[in-house]
Amino acid sequence: MWTALFNWLFAKHVGGTFMLRIEDTDQKRFVEGSTEKIFEALDWYGLTPDEGPQQGGQFAPYVQSERLDRYRQYAEQLVTNGKAYYCFCTPERLDQLRAAQTAAKQQPKYDKHCATLTSDEVATHKQAGETYTIRMKLPESGILVHHDIIRGTVKFQYNVLDDSVILKTDGYPTYHLANVVDDHDMGISHVIRAEEWLPSVPKHLFLYEAFGWTPPVFAHLPLLLGTDRAKLSKRHGATSALSFRDEGYLPEALTNFLALMGWHPKDEQEIFTREKLVEQFSLEGINPSGAVFDRTKLDWMNGMYIRALSVEQLLERLRPFWKLPDEKHEDSELLNIVRLIHDRLVRLTDINDFANFMFPSVWDTELPTIDRAIFVPKKGTIEATNHHLEQTAKWLSAYNGEWKSATLKEQMIAAIASMGKKNGEILWPLRAALSLRAASPDVFDLLEVLGKEESIRRIEHVCR
């Protein structure tokens, strides 16, 4: 999704077209339903293609398995021009070759066994019904110089490269052929892709030259690293892209975060609207030495975006994640709770842990177990704490004033002072008794949300 985002940002920045092409020619690796996952993920991130399988467009079809005839035609054209050849080697022969090369501590590489077959020999093999692949016929020596927008000048030696298969025995093209052909046919100007394709660049440039086409501009993104700067092993496909949604991140926070991963804007700003990102993005601003995936920063950024929402907007975002203890909750009640946690929420999935204890009915079915350690303030004792809680329950029972956070605060703080106590001695255990957790909203807000009866019930429960 990171790669898709950079492609999208670049296309929007230059006023180009963001095109989605489904590359499904590797039938062994193709997973049922994965195309739908890609549509879903792009949609969630707001990276809707201008052209693609769903949108259509002048270069349809945008699914490679629907374009097989073209690849065969183009592969045959290369054979005719002497830039590719039929290979009738069996898998057994190729296995033996690889084993022998490995044993001799050589880099495994196809030995051009079929490169010199005459047209008569090819005809004989074909008549015998043997299956074949088509391989590109790379030069045996020479150096290729490639200019990459992100990497700068990269040099490759032809003599270490393999005559890769471009058309497989099942008639499907490999990535090398399918991409070069489609990028040309679809008028692709810029190829922005993962680092892993950099070693294939000379093969692709060879194919462009063999066809007599002008290659597009290439930009190979940096490696994705963890905060320890070790390479991230997990593949970042559509499924993992959607897992961020399920973990409670906001799409606008994620795109902001991903854009800054490996790309540096001119100033030190970190929070960008989509429009600002498009305006400022440049391929030249991408650091080739690796992009660090920092989960702590993502959490921080998600919190910033949550804070920027109104409580009403936040409630709408929370609904899919919020497992309410029962069904009878008015929006006004939910909004009161959301208001209390708005400042602290990091991910939408936190809502159940942060908020559900604030429903008065939540202790009805099961009284929670109590961790005494969280009640006792610094320098306090369990005995004194229990005594203070009992007194607080009595005070609240007798209280007849308005049951509002601000009024309760004013009245209680005055009462604590008149008893000669410190605020912390009374309010710390009270907050813990109401929430049963170490971190929670302000104690007076909690009193208001829980109501008088439930507040007293909770205090009595923990004193028991």
Alpha helices in 141-186 (DSSP H): 175-185
- The residue range among 51-59, 79-87, 333-341, 397-405 that interacts with Zn ion, by the rule CB under 5 A, is 79-87
The Cα 99–Cα 225 span in angstroms is 33
Q: Which stretch binds Zn ion (CB under 5 A): 57-65, 88-96, 269-277, 368-376?
A: 88-96
Q: Which of 90/310 has CB closer to Zn ion? A: 90
Helix-helix angle 423-435:405-418, to 10 degrees: 140
Nearest C-alpha neighbor of 92 from the set 131, 123, 134 = 131
CB-CB neighbours of 388 under 10 Å: 23
Min CB(164)–Zn ion separation in Å: 13
Q: Which stretch binds Zn ion (CB under 5 A): 84-92, 221-229, 279-287, 456-464?
A: 84-92
Based on CB atoms, which residue is closest to Zn ion, 89 or 194? 89
Does the CA dihedral 326-331-332-337 come out positive or negative?
Answer: positive
105 catalytic, yes or no? no
Binding of Zn ion by 87 (CB under 5 A): yes
The two structure tokens encoding residue 217:
């501009």
In whole angstroms, the minimum distance from the beta carbon of 179 to Zn ion comes to: 23
What x/- string results for residues 89 through 128 when contact with Zn ion is judged by CB under 5 A? x-----------------------xx--------------
Residue 167 engages Zn ion in binding (rule: CB under 5 A) = no
Pick out residues in 224-253 that bind Zn ion (CB under 5 A): none
Give the β-pairing of 224-225 and 291-292. parallel
Q: Look at the alpha carbons of 84, 90, 93, 97 in this order and tell me if their dihedral is positive or negative.
A: positive
In which element (H, E) is residue 375 found? none
Length of the chain: 464
Q: Which is nearer to Zn ion, 135 or 151 (CB)?
A: 135
The nearer residue to Zn ion, 92 or 275, going by C-beta atoms, is 92
- Chain centre to alpha carbon of residue 34: 15
**Among the listed residues 335, 313, 187, 332, the one whose alpha carbon sits nearest the alpha carbon of residue 250:** 313
Active-site pick, 28, 234, 323, 378: 234
User: Closest CB to Zn ion among 56 and 108?
Assistant: 108
Task: For the CB of residue 87, give the shortest distance to Zn ion in the complex, in Å.
Answer: 3
CB of 115 to Zn ion, least distance (A): 8
**Contact range with Zn ion by CB under 5 A, out of 82-90, 95-103, 159-167, 272-280:** 82-90
Stretch that binds Zn ion, among 25-33, 80-88, 289-297, 449-457 (CB under 5 A): 80-88
Q: How far is the CB of 60 from Zn ion (least distance, A)?
A: 36
Point out which residues pair with 19 in neighbouring strands.
Answer: 51
Quickly count: other Cβ atoms within 10 Å of residue 342's Cβ: 15
Smallest gap from Cβ 89 to Zn ion, in A, equals 3
Q: Is 357 left (phi over 0), alpha (psi -120 to 50) or beta?
A: alpha
Structure-token match 């991230």, residue found: 232
Q: Which alpha helices (DSSP H) does 247-310 contain, by range?
A: 251-259, 274-280, 295-308
- CB-based contacts of 31, cutoff 8 Å, min separation 6: none
Select 33 or 171, whichever has its Cβ closest to Zn ion.
171
* Shortest Å, Cβ 131 to Zn ion: 11
Please, which residue, 95 or 209, has the CB nearer to Zn ion? 95
# residues near Zn ion by CB under 5 A: 4
**Residue 98 beta carbon to Zn ion: minimum distance, rounded to whole angstroms:** 13
Helix and strand element counts for the chain (H, E): 19, 9
Closer CB to Zn ion, 98 or 329, in the complex:
98
Distance CA 303, CA 106 (A): 53
Interface residue list for Zn ion (CB under 5 A): 87, 89, 113-114
Query: What positions carry a catalytic annotation?
Result: 234
